[in-house]
Amino acid sequence: MAHIINLKTFKDTRGILTVLDRVVDFEIKRLFYIYAVDDSDRGGHRHHNTHQAAICIQGSCKITNNDSKKTEIFELDTPDKCLILEPEDWHVMHDFSQDAILLVLASTAFDPKDYIYEPYANSI
C-alpha cells in the first residue's frame, strides 16, 4: 500500500539538508527523474516486482494511486516527503508544477516486462 514517509531534514542558517539514509526497504538499482512536464499525465501502470520511492525535489506534483482496494491522491509538495509505492500500486503522476522535478528510486533495473498497464477494474 502506498504511503508517505517524512525524510529526516536538518535546517540551520546555512540552509536545509535532507537525508536519504536507510529510508527504503529495498536495494536501489535505478534512479530516474521526471521534469519539464506539460499538462500530461505520467505513469499509468503498476509493476510485477519493482518497489519505488518518489520525491518531488523541486516544485510539486500529485500521484493518484490505486492498490486494487482503494484510490488515494498524494501531493508531493516539499522535498522532505517521500511516497513509497509497492509493485501492486497502479499510479498516475499528474498536476506537475512548471518547475517540478520528481526523483524516483527503484528496486530494479528497467525491464519492460515488469510493467502492467491494465488498470484495476475500480481504477482511476
Q: How confident is the model at residue 121 (pLDDT cuts 50, 70, 90)?
A: confident
Catalytic residue numbers read 45
pTM reported for the whole predicted model: 0.93
* Overall number of domains in the chain: 1
Name the average pLDDT for the chain: 96
pLDDT for 23-70, tens place per residue? 999 999 999 999 999 999 999 999 999 999 999 999 999 999 999 999
- Residue 107 is part of a domain; what is its CATH number? 2.60.120.10
- Whether residue 123 lies inside any domain: the answer is no
Is residue 50 within 8 Å of residue 104, measured between CB atoms? no
In a domain, 122, yes or no: no
Q: Which structural domain, as residue segments, surrounds residue 48?
A: 3-116
